[in-house]
Structures are given as C-alpha cells and as structure tokens.
Amino acid sequence: MKSKIDLLLNEINGLIAKSPEEVEQIRLKYLSKKGLVSVLFEEFKSVDPDRKREIGSLLNNLKNAAQDKINQLRTAFENLTDVQSVPEDLTRPAERLEPGTRHPLSIVRNRIIEIFGHIGFTVAEGPEIEDDWHNFTALNFAPDHPARDMQDTFFIAKDPDIMLRTHTSSVQIRTMESTKPPIRKIFPGRVFRNEAISARAHCIFHQVEGLYIDRNVSFADLKQTLLYFATEMFGENTRIRLRPSYFPFTEPSGEMDISCNICGGAGCNICKYTGWVEILGCGMVDPNTLENCGIDPAEYSGYAFGMGIERITMLKYQIRDLRLFYENDVRFLKQFTGAL
C-alpha cells in the first residue's frame, strides 16, 4: 500500500497540462469517485489496524498533493493574459504559414528603379504637400493654365499656394535648384488629382519621373533611353512610337506608346482597341524651366519623362481594372507571391 502511494505521489508531482481541458481530465483521473486516489481509500479499509494511522496520514497527504497540483494548474491558465504564454507543445504539428508578398505596385516600382539604375539613374524623393512655385510656376505653367483649376488639384485649406502635388515634377525642380549638372535621377512617388475613380483612373496614384541634364543632351538620347526601358520592362519584342504632344515644361514634347501586350494588337479596353498603349510623356527640358532653377540653358540641355506606375503594372500583369490595386483583396494580392 505504501509503495502504491509513493508511486502515485511521484506521478502527481510531475503532472503538466497544456489546456484547461487537460486539467479537468487530471482531476477526474485522480480525484473523482472512481479516481486512482479514491481507489486507494477503498483499499485502506482492509489495512491492518496497527498500520491504519501511518497509511491514513500518507493517503491524506496524497489527496492534498493531488488537489494542490490541480489548483496550481488551474491558476496558471486563469492568470494567462497572452496566448503566447501558453506552454508550448513541442510535439504539436507546426501551423502552416502563408507566404507573404509585396504589393504589385511596389514590385513594379522597384523594377523601374532597377532598370534605370543600370544606366546610371539614382533615386530622389520630395514632399507630397507642395507650394505653387515647385508644382506649377517653376515648371513654366502659365497663371491661367487649366491644370491650375480646382477640378484637377487638391488645394490645402483653400490656400491657392499650398496643394497636394499633382506630379513628381516638383521634385525635379527641387533637385535642379540644389544640384549642379550633370543630373541623372528618377523620382518615384505618390501624386494626387481631383479625378473620378474608374477602371482607368484614380484620385491617388503613383508616378516615376526621370531627368537627365548635361552638356549636349539630345532627343536621340531620350529615345534610346525610353526604348531600353520598354524592352527591359515588357520584353525585347516590344515596339515603341513617339507622338508629338505638349507639356509646359518640355519643348519639344512627346508621348510614348508601346505595343499592347494584353491583346497583342487585336484591341481591348486597355488600349482602347488601337493596339497601342500610351505609357508616358516626355520631352526636352524647356529652357525657361532650366533658367527658373538657376541652370544656364546655353550651356546645358536635358530631357525629362514621366509615367504612371499603375499603368505599367496593368500592362505587365494584364490587369484590366486599376481599382484592384486599392481594395486590399487578399485573393488578388496572393497572385503576386514570388513575382519579380
């Protein structure tokens, strides 16, 4: 009898539980009416009278030890405030961890930076809240230019001089003001325009603009740079075409189209059924813009270009609705796991 008590006492002292449910199972095993301790109390009735005092004391100690152990385990779980504090079950199968992914806009932004980094462009950034000088005036926008209208620009507290930047060209101005040529930089960032949200437009979007200023920079340099970018981003069979356009801060100005890689030229809602998709505006930096930034246009020339990251991403991954980028739908984002 004494050996049974000792063995059971050692077993009880070594008990652990991984959950409140397991604590209850321990109680039932040892202290219920048919529990192991209760069985010993039944056997106690047949113990020799001269040993009852000794064995009875040992049985009471065993019962108290079992109750104390159960109370200790219950208290440990009642005091837990953090799930991470629950004792770890090292034999439990590991939980499956879903692999994460970068947002498609971040993937494409990083790829654009990488492509231009191969030909010597570095990254510069600037504030999203701008003044009129850096966002418009220094860029050769006339006082009555339509882009200054409230329908395009978000002004801050009705102050006509403070606004959310409408393009990252403002960072070009800041760079030219603070840096002597040669300048070879790209300017990725978020921009804001008061536009209706649709499958092809949003009031918040992302741009990457580029600027190269040095002696004897020509339009041919611009064309070769953009051709290099298009083939690196969309594949070596990508074709480009440049069309005359107008921007206040470049002269001459152009818009660049690439052959639509979504429909293969057959026509879709992205290319407006033409087989070509406009992806960026470009041109030679206007001499007035250079002068506004303290750069002598008689000595230096340069080119600039700008593109929407959303447009590039839609073409690269054949996405037909720009709004998907902002909905945080996990089903959509999971498709870019492992994308480069």
Query: Residue 85 class from Cβ within 10 Å (0-12 exposed, 13-18 middle, 19+ buried)?
Result: exposed
Per-residue pLDDT of the chain (340 residues; tens, 9 = 90+): 778 888 888 888 888 888 888 888 888 888 888 888 888 888 878 878 888 888 888 888 888 888 888 888 888 877 664 555 556 677 888 777 777 788 999 999 999 999 999 999 999 999 999 999 999 999 999 888 887 776 688 888 777 789 999 999 999 999 999 999 999 999 999 999 988 888 777 889 999 999 999 999 999 999 999 999 999 999 888 899 999 999 999 999 999 999 887 777 777 776 788 888 889 999 999 999 999 999 999 999 999 999 999 989 988 888 888 899 988 888 888 888 766 5
Question: Which residues span the domain enclosing 61?
Answer: 2-85
Tally of structural domains, the chain: 2
Q: What is the per-residue DSSP string for 285-337?
A: EPHHHHHHTT--TTT-EEEEEEEEHHHHHHHHHT---GGGGGS--HHHHGGGT
E strand spans, 165-299 = 183-192, 204-214, 240-247, 250-259, 276-285
pLDDT of residue 151: 62
Residue 92 is assigned to a structural domain of this protein = no
pLDDT at 87: 62
Same domain, 183 and 264: yes
Spacing of C-alpha 107 from chain mean position: 9
Whether 81 and 188 share a structural domain:
no
Query: pTM for the full model?
Result: 0.68
Residue 58: both structure tokens together: 């040992």
What is the DSSP code (8-state) at residue 245?
Answer: E
Q: Please tell me the predicted confidence (pLDDT) of residue 286.
A: 96
Element (H, E) at 155: strand 155-156
Which residues, 6 or more positions from 170, have their beta carbon under 8 angstroms from its beta carbon? 126, 127, 130, 134, 135, 139
Choosing from 57, 85, 113, the residue where a domain stops is: 85
111 and 79, same structural domain? no
Same domain, 125 and 199: yes
Q: Kindly state whether residues 121 and 64 are assigned to the same domain.
A: no
Residue 90 domain-assigned (yes or no): no
